[in-house]
């Protein structure tokens, strides 16, 4: 079976979702919330934390079921738009398609947590001196890398297209 180029990127999405879910399940099964292990002294830690909010703990203090429903619904809408952009071939280049696939996989991984557990499980923590970067997971990493790839695609593919069109 030969899949169109743009549909092949859904394999990357599926891999991200499976890797994200597997790592979260491993942490959830073997550690308790609040568990912490230093990996590289004063730099990288493995932790078990749960974030009921969105990125960087925004809305984490809201115990409202309405907030949870809005976050899930918003995630599903974003995932629908990302899937449409990927299927419709609106990603531009392979870099843009990879970025969309990573964003979609990360969003799917986190919304799965939110639906089944009410919060997203995070387990990586990074410190830079006294600066503490909020805990994150595989899905968050995929979202960040996907956003960077899309940004690079937008910045450099358009520039390249413009220089080709110039006489």
For residue 126, give every residue at least 6 positions away whose Cβ sits within 8 Å of its Cβ, in sequence order, or none: 43, 44, 45, 132, 133
Query: 10 Å Cβ neighbour count for 37?
Result: 12
Residue among 20, 61, 113, 140 flagged as catalytic: 140
For residue 5, give every residue at least 6 positions away whose Cβ sits within 8 Å of its Cβ, in sequence order, or none: 97
Query: 10 Å Cβ neighbour count for 110?
Result: 28
Residue among 20, 61, 113, 122 flagged as catalytic: 122
**Is residue 153 annotated as part of the catalytic site, yes or no?**
no
In the chain, DSSP finds a helix count (H) and a strand count (E) of 5, 4
Q: What's the token pair of residue 120?
A: 């997203």
Identify the H or E element spanning 45: strand 44-51
**Is residue 20 annotated as part of the catalytic site, yes or no?**
no
Indicate which residues carry an active-site annotation: 122, 140
């Amino acid at each position: 079976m030969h899949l169109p180029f743009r549909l092949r990127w859904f394999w990357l999405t599926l891999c991200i979702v499976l890797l994200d879910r597997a790592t979260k399940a491993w942490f959830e099964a073997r550690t308790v919330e609040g568990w912490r292990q230093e990996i590289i002294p004063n730099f990288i830690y493995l932790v078990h934390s749960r974030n009921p909010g969105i990125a960087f703990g925004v809305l984490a203090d809201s115990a409202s079921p309405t907030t949870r429903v809005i976050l899930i619904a918003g995630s599903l809408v974003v995932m629908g738009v990302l899937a449409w952009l990927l299927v419709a071939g609106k990603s531009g280049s392979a870099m843009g398609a990879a970025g969309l696939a990573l964003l979609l996989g990360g969003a799917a991984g986190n919304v799965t947590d939110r639906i089944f557990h009410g919060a997203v499980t995070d387990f990586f923590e990074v410190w830079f001196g006294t600066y503490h970067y909020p805990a994150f997971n595989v899905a968050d990493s995929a979202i960040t890398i996907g956003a960077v790839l899309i940004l690079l695609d937008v910045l450099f593919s358009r520039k390249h297209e413009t220089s080709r069109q110039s006489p």
